[in-house]
Chain A
Amino acid sequence: MSDPLPAGVVDRVEYDVERGKIREFTRATFTTDPVHTDPAVARDAGFADVPATLIHTVVAGHQRDQRAFVDSLGLALARVVVGSVTWTYLRPLTAGDHVVGSRRIVADEQREGKRGGTMRIVTLETEYVDTEGEPVVRLEEVLIERGEQR
């Protein structure tokens, strides 16, 4: 379990996609399509089991130490905000899947902030693969570290 991370990978998470967790996300996001909660409806719609909601990868928050991760990037947690997130879906994530997500830095830039100070903008990409090694979903996150106020 403690294999070293491949070059360029800043962290790795893995989890089982579970019906109960899908139900939690369905309720927490006011999603109403019964395909997410009723296996019979899901099968009638052509799924092997209930599909996850679109933001299911957020569940990785249960496995991450966000403070340690931000520290490891050399960012000041108090000045970091998430600017944007984009998910790209290669197939629906479905109950019964086991996925592994590897997070990499794809860009790390500095820019002059509008209110003085230098902003740092870090772009991270996480690719989740299934047990066959096939990519299922990709996630791009842009973290913004605001400049220090002087």
Chain B
Amino acid sequence: MRTPAEVRVGDTPDVRVVGPVTQTDIVRFAGAGGDFNPLHHDPGFVATSGFPGVIAMGQMQAGILAGWLSDTFGVEHVRSFGVRFVAPVFIGDTLTLGGTVVSIDETDGESLATLDLVASGDKGPVVTGSAKVAVAST
């Protein structure tokens, strides 16, 4: 396994910017995951739904946030990843993904960092979350 990252409480690893989100991005995620709810690709259906436009599936922005997390810390070091969905993502939104190390604890002989995570769109947070990742003991 690769060496865990060295971090301290308060660290904010470099953020990632993704977007603007396109219909193609949403369709590509639908193909990977199998969510073919027309809310995510059919403007005619969306017009009957009350939303002002096609929205991404929440799992997409959760997955993009998870990608930032595993690219930063190594997928084998991630012990948990949790998200809450707070606002929809529309085509054209640009996402900013990042997090903050809020604590580091020794658990079962492993240094586990707890991170607060956030994915923000053009108007504020769209997904908030937290993760536990194994890090180098200091």
Residues on the B chain within 8 Å of A26, using CB: 67
Closest chain-A Cβ to B128's Cβ sits at a distance in Å of 9
Q: Interface size on A (CB < 8 Å)?
A: 39
Complex CA distance for A87 and B70, rounded to whole angstroms: 13
A53 touches B70 (CB 8 A): yes
Q: What are the residues of chain A within 8 A of B59 when measuring CB–CB?
A: 55, 58, 85
Q: How many A-B residue pairs have CB under 8 A?
A: 118
A 41-70 binary contact with B (CB < 8 Å = 1; else 0)? 000011100010111001111111010000
Q: Does B107 contact A (CB under 8 A)?
A: no
Asked if B66 contacts A29 (CB within 8 A), the reply is: yes
Q: Which residues of A contact B75 (CB under 8 A)?
A: 33, 35-36, 51, 53-54, 92
> Does B52 make an interface contact (CB < 8 A)?
no
Q: Is A131 an interface residue (CB 8 A)?
A: no
A92 CA to B2 CA, complexed, in Å: 13
Interface residues of A (CB under 8 A from B): 21, 24-33, 35-36, 45-47, 51, 53-55, 58-64, 66, 81-89, 92, 140
